[in-house]
Amino acid sequence: MREFHHIINILDSLPNNKTRKEYLESIRKNPNIARHDFMRVSCNILIQNNFIDRYYRIGFSESVKIRGQKMIDFFEKFTKKRFFSL
């Protein structure tokens, strides 16, 4: 239980959901943490239950920024492929 609360305290201090997910994946992929270690088990439970998306909901303005940035990235890739292939 201590490891679970420790992970949640660290997740609370991180700035956004992307870094939170990267932190959980870093614990999950760390070869120095044993497979049956409580920290790794807690991390797997949090990932499987989709804890970050449920507990750390993003606001409307932030979701608009994320979607807008994805659209900009898509069109940049599209125009690069389109015009550089000619």
Residues 40 and 63 in one domain: no
Residues 41 and 65 in one domain: no
62-78 confidence digits (pLDDT tens): 888 889 999 999 998 88
Residues 35 and 76 in one domain: no
Q: Model's pTM, two decimal places?
A: 0.69
Residues 49 and 11 in one domain: yes
Number of domains within the chain: 2
Q: Residue 84, CB half-sphere, CA atoms under 13 Å: how many?
A: 6
Residues 12 and 49 in one domain: yes
Residues 26 and 65 in one domain: no
In terms of residue numbers, what domain contains 23? Answer: 1-55
Residues 32 and 15 in one domain: yes
Provide φ and ψ at 80, rounded to 5°: -65, -45
9-53 confidence digits (pLDDT tens): 999 999 988 999 999 999 999 999 998 999 999 999 999 999 998
